[in-house]
Amino acid sequence: MTAFAIGGVHVGVPVVLAPMAAVTNAPFRLLCRELGAGLVVTEMIHAQGLVDGGVRSLEMLDVRAAEHPVAVQLFGGDPATMARAAQVVEAAGADCVDVNFGCPMKKVVRNGLGAALLRRPERVGEIIAAMVQAVSIPVMAKIRAGWDDANVVAVGAAIQDAGGSAIT
């Protein structure tokens, strides 16, 4: 199997554990690393909750030494808040930060977050650029194709132009 890198993060096995809400907690991620995952990703954490020091958000930010490389997935819509949350993630020891632009859940989309941001490539670019400037770890983005009237090519270009390291 061929290794790859995301920014400067080496992923020795080309198998990535996808972030799954209420599933990819630290014990599950550790198990997946033991079973051969090359990179594991946390469930999505609301950026505002991290910035505000929310107990639940901080509990979800449970990065353990044995799970590296690990990415922490965030969601939010304000570039400054996302940048501050990325700094919290970096300080917690994550190797990468992943932004969820793909969640189609009504409660997320209703607030203009997740997949709703796919309709706003310029905003996606602003978010990624702010995060890239705020941290030294790679910033990745998760998007989805075929959602509503979104132009994922424009979104992908915005992520690339803003300095994003990877798109899933």
Active site residues: 103
**Residue 46 backbone dihedrals phi, psi, to 5 degrees:** -70, 125
- Ramachandran quadrant class, 22 (left: phi over 0; alpha: psi -120 to 50; beta: rest): left
Compute the distance between CA of residue 123 and CA of residue 75 in angstroms, rounded to an integer: 13
Residue 76 vs residues 20, 67, 140: alpha-carbon distances, Å: 17, 25, 14
Contacts of 133 (CB under 8 A, 6+ apart): 83
Using CA of residue 166, residue 131, residue 72, residue 36, what is the dihedral sign? positive
